[in-house]
Amino acid sequence: MKHNLLIVVMFIFSTYHAQSCKYTFIGEVTDFHDGSPMSGATVHIESLNRYTTADINGKFSIKNLCNGKLILVISHVGCETNRIEIDIIGDTFKKIDMEHHLEELDEVSLRNKGTKTTKTAQETVIKDDVLERYSSLSLGDALKEVPGVSSINTGNTIVKPMINGLHSSRILILNNSVRLQDQEWGIEHAPNIDINSANQISVIKGAGALAYGGDAIGGVVVIKPSKIVQKDTLFGRTILGAQTNGRGYNISSTLNKNYSSGWFTQLQGSYRKNGDFHAPDYNLTNTGLDSKGFSARFGKTAFQSGFEAYYSYLNNEIGILSASHIGSVFDLKRAINTGQPTVIKDFSYDINAPKQDITHHLAKASYYKRFSNFGKVTFQYDYQNNRRLEFDVRIGDRKNTPAIDLTLQTHTILADLNLDANLNRKFNFGIMGRYQDNFANPDTGVRRLIPDYDKYDFGVYTTTEWRIKNDLVVDTGIRYDFNRIDAKKYYRKSRWEERGYDDDFSDIIIEELPTQYLTNPIFDYHNLSASVGAKFYLNDKSYVIGNYALSSRPPNPSELFSDGLHHSAARFELGDLRFDKEVSNRVSASYNYNTPKFNLSAEIFYNKIEDFIYLIPFDFISTIRGPFPFWEYQQANTELYGIDINATYNLTNNWQLQNRTSFIRGYDLENHIPLIEMPPFNTMNQVTYKNTTWHNFSASLKSEWVSEQNEYPDFNFEVTDQLTGEKCEIDISTPPPAYHLLHFYSEATFNLSEKTSLNVSFGINNLLDTSYRNYLNQLRYFADDLGRNVTLQIQLNY
């Protein structure tokens, strides 16, 4: 009886099982963005090891299925492979969205330098293989790889990027989608960026990316971390470097852990130490650097949604050439006439005053969500804390007290909507709110150069990209920004009346003291920015780009409120409360020709800037220490124009020639004089040998020629020596002569295992140990630039 019952149960089960494997699954593969059918998509039924293909309507069917789990792997040309799990409960239908990447394929530079941010602006991408060479240097040094980008320096460790003659707050720097806020006003304020945390850098000349800001009159620098790979993997790299000049050493290490589910973690840290650098003929005393950096990323990335949390820390202690600390303009005159530093000591790793000590914290949280047949929504919050200490040479109880002590805190909220359902016509909308608080410590014993202030920013923008034809792309955008600065500042009564503020700003006085006024200046600025650009493909080898950008920049706190001795610059600086916003109208065009043998990029631009604010030497001011140089911010209508050329020619499979040439001119149209501190004509020629069959070996010799700047304003002034009664002319305008430098670089990569490689690089900068002075180096009055520097770097990829 028991056996009969068992037979019946088994019969019923087998009958049910046979009936349950007669179901059909029907799938429809569509484009996520616009819902169009993805005909020809390949469908692999992983659990059954069967294949099928979607028809012209994007549909496919799988018959004779049982209830349960069905795993499908769907692929299509131009799409990311999609692996999905489906529950079969009877006959089942499911619509499957695929992400199509035609838009990303279009954005890849024809010269294979990486993914571009914008199609119609003048943009150059620097990839990680180039950035790795600059592990021991700064962001400003690396950006010189881009034609038209130079730097304005205070020595060799404070390097500030300059794009087509413009720098500081006219250049917007984004680090992992966060706009850098680090008191970028002064020339001697270098960006607080650890270049070892960057995987790719894009340089956009002019205001070609309105989503980032409307005040980027000079351009935008976009720093991107490594792209997250949705794959179960653990990898990293460690870089060790050493250099003879400054007896420096550096280490950087990055570790990445990714999962196929989209979860990821990245840790990165770096340390760099340099002692006194040296010129060809003498030591540059107190020019060392101690730099520590750390960053961490964590989150989950997937096509439809994801989030990221990011934190970075950077601390730089920077020595400033001892000889640049002057007691009066007579010290400056002696330094110029002597031709070498007045202070030369033996090599040391010690960093003494004058010096800077800057600490920067950045924290970011972001989230995005994609919606089918609609687009992508992104939210972001970021916080930055920047502490800047500037130490003057002081004695007594305040020997170790900074002369300038500023803390800048910034909170920013962003929301962005990208409508990309129609790949031929995309729209982007965004809104931004920001609050910033600057605190100037009053306990320094020195009159505060920059006051306490609160700053409020609000921005809204829209951009559109329109593919009119296969060979023509047009994008346009418009942005509105509101800025408010609410400050509290003390003015000496004598200065207040001298500037005529008693007539124009008497209503902002909130307290009168015996010798000073406490004022509450509040300024509101309404800024409108716009851009339009077009990219037209002449044929499969060449294209042209035309671009017009209107941008406006409100004056920064330094330009408005400076009133005192800027110790790290050894000069008095004076701002003006009457300044209006700058308005830039920039027109540019470029021609690009690309073949396997020859590549050419030629860019021209014209930029007319109304109410351009710039700092010029004006006179001298008497102090108890003697007369000091007196620099004043002024405003005038100006024009800048120039051309940038980048060309490479492959002589053979192993030999390549490259040329980068930049020419720029800038003029004050009201006073009919050249603008101060414009880059002179420069050209770089490089010959490179590559042998990919021998450990991917390469060696290059670079020739760098910088001409003498023959277009400059004459701001020399006379001062009378109170002891002798003699008049002395202080020549601070005449540029140094032209110079020519040779640089050598070589590298090879050795595969240690299937997943481990060792890259070894060797270089010599200033190969001939040439003595020279750079016109754009603020310390050129006191010393020559760096002499020969031999570098060795080892990179382990694992």
Three-state SS string over 606-674 comes to EEEEEEEEEEEEEEEEEECCEEEEEEEEEEEEEEEEEEEEEEEEECCCCEEEEEEEEEEEEEECCCCEE
Which of 123, 129, 133, 138 shows the shortest CA–CA distance to 203? 123
Count CB-CB contacts under 10 A for residue 140: 24
Contact yes or no for 154/568 (Cβ under 8 A): yes
What pLDDT score was predicted for residue 507?
94
Contact yes or no for 438/557 (Cβ under 8 A): yes
What pLDDT score was predicted for residue 567?
61
Residue 141: its H or E element: helix 139-143
Q: What is the mean pLDDT of residues 529-539?
A: 94
pLDDT tens by residue, 342-362: 899 999 999 999 999 999 999
pLDDT tens by residue, 575-601: 999 999 999 999 999 999 999 999 999
- Angstrom distance (rounded) from CA 383 to CA 181: 10
- Angstrom distance (rounded) from CA 225 to CA 178: 12
- Angstrom distance (rounded) from CA 641 to CA 325: 36
Confidence of residue 260 (pLDDT cuts 50, 70, 90): confident
pLDDT tens by residue, 331-343: 788 888 888 898 9
Contact yes or no for 696/750 (Cβ under 8 A): no
131-134 contacts, C-beta under 8 A, 24 or more apart: 131/195, 131/198, 131/199, 131/200, 131/201, 132/239, 132/759, 132/793, 132/795, 133/745, 133/761, 133/763, 133/793, 134/195
DSSP 175-206: ETTEE--S-TTSTT------GGG-SEEEEEES
Which of 45, 47, 90 shows the shortest CA–CA distance to 67? 90
Lowest mean pLDDT among 252-256, 724-728, 766-770: 724-728
What pLDDT score was predicted for residue 514?
92
SS3 329: helix
Cα dist from 126 to 74, 111, 313, whole Å: 34, 11, 23
What pLDDT score was predicted for residue 11?
43
Q: Which amino acid is at 260?
A: S
The percentage of the chain sitting over the pLDDT mark of 70, rounded to a whole number, equals: 93
Q: What is the mean pLDDT of residues 786-791?
A: 97
Confidence of residue 8 (pLDDT cuts 50, 70, 90): very low
- Angstrom distance (rounded) from CA 20 to CA 602: 68
DSSP 342-376: S----------SSEEEEEEEEEEEEEEEEETTTEE
Two structure tokens written together for 41:
């998509």
What pLDDT score was predicted for residue 549?
93
Which of 382, 27, 474, 458 shows the shortest CA–CA distance to 181? 382
Confidence of residue 108 (pLDDT cuts 50, 70, 90): very low
pLDDT tens by residue, 412-445: 999 999 998 777 788 999 999 999 999 999 998 8
- Angstrom distance (rounded) from CA 351 to CA 393: 12
Overall size of the chain counted in residues: 798
Q: How do strand 757-765 and strand 739-751 relate by DSSP bridges?
A: antiparallel
Which of 322, 332, 340 shows the shortest CA–CA distance to 276? 322
Contact yes or no for 179/172 (Cβ under 8 A): yes
Q: What is the mean pLDDT of residues 395-407?
A: 89
pLDDT at residue 2 is higher than 50: no
Q: How do strand 171-175 and strand 122-127 relate by DSSP bridges?
A: unpaired
- Angstrom distance (rounded) from CA 498 to CA 279: 44
- What are the residues facing 201 on neighbouring strands? 126, 223
What pLDDT score was predicted for residue 333?
81
User: What's the CA angle centered on 722, arms 717 and 725, to 5 degrees?
Assistant: 80
Cα dist from 150 to 203, 620, 644, whole Å: 12, 30, 12
Domains of the chain: 2-98 (2.60.40.10), 122-222 (2.170.130.10), 223-797 (2.40.170.20)
Confidence of residue 552 (pLDDT cuts 50, 70, 90): very high
More confident residue, 210 or 461: 461
Q: What is the CA radius of gyration of the chain?
A: 30
- Whole-number average pLDDT of the chain: 89
Q: What secondary structure, in 3-state letters, does 116-129 show? A: CCCCCCEEEEEEHH
pLDDT at residue 4 is higher than 60: no
Q: What secondary structure, in 3-state letters, does 246-260 show? A: CCEEEEEEEEEEECC
The percentage of the chain sitting over the pLDDT mark of 90, rounded to a whole number, equals: 62
- Angstrom distance (rounded) from CA 135 to CA 131: 7
What pLDDT score was predicted for residue 459?
96
User: What's the CA angle centered on 179, arms 118 and 605, to 5 degrees?
Assistant: 45
Instruction: Report the Cα 34 to chain-centroid distance in Å.
Output: 34
What pLDDT score was predicted for residue 114?
53
Which of 252, 791, 238, 329 shows the shortest CA–CA distance to 572? 329
What pLDDT score was predicted for residue 18?
47
Two structure tokens written together for 250:
């550096």
590-595 contacts, C-beta under 8 A, 24 or more apart: 590/122, 590/544, 590/545, 591/542, 591/544, 592/110, 592/542, 592/543, 592/544, 592/545, 593/541, 593/542, 594/110, 594/111, 594/541, 594/542, 595/541
Q: 334's torsion region: left (phi>0), alpha (psi -120 to 50) or beta?
A: alpha
Contact yes or no for 351/322 (Cβ under 8 A): no
Count CB-CB contacts under 10 A for residue 526: 11
Contact yes or no for 349/390 (Cβ under 8 A): no
More confident residue, 436 or 226: 436
Two structure tokens written together for 717:
């002034």
pLDDT tens by residue, 286-297: 999 999 999 999
What pLDDT score was predicted for residue 110?
33
Lowest mean pLDDT among 62-66, 527-531, 693-697: 62-66
Contact yes or no for 30/96 (Cβ under 8 A): yes
- What are the residues facing 745 on neighbouring strands? 700, 763
Pick the most confident of 209-218, 437-446, 618-627, 684-693.
684-693
Instruction: Report the Cα 196 to chain-centroid distance in Å.
Output: 13
- Angstrom distance (rounded) from CA 734 to CA 203: 31
Contact yes or no for 352/286 (Cβ under 8 A): yes
More confident residue, 782 or 624: 782
SS3 559: helix
E strands present in 448-496: 452-469, 472-492
Contact yes or no for 125/200 (Cβ under 8 A): yes
Contact yes or no for 218/163 (Cβ under 8 A): yes
- Angstrom distance (rounded) from CA 187 to CA 159: 9
What pLDDT score was predicted for residue 66?
87
pLDDT tens by residue, 35-58: 788 888 888 888 778 888 888 888
Q: What is the mean pLDDT of residues 270-297?
A: 97
Confidence of residue 185 (pLDDT cuts 50, 70, 90): confident
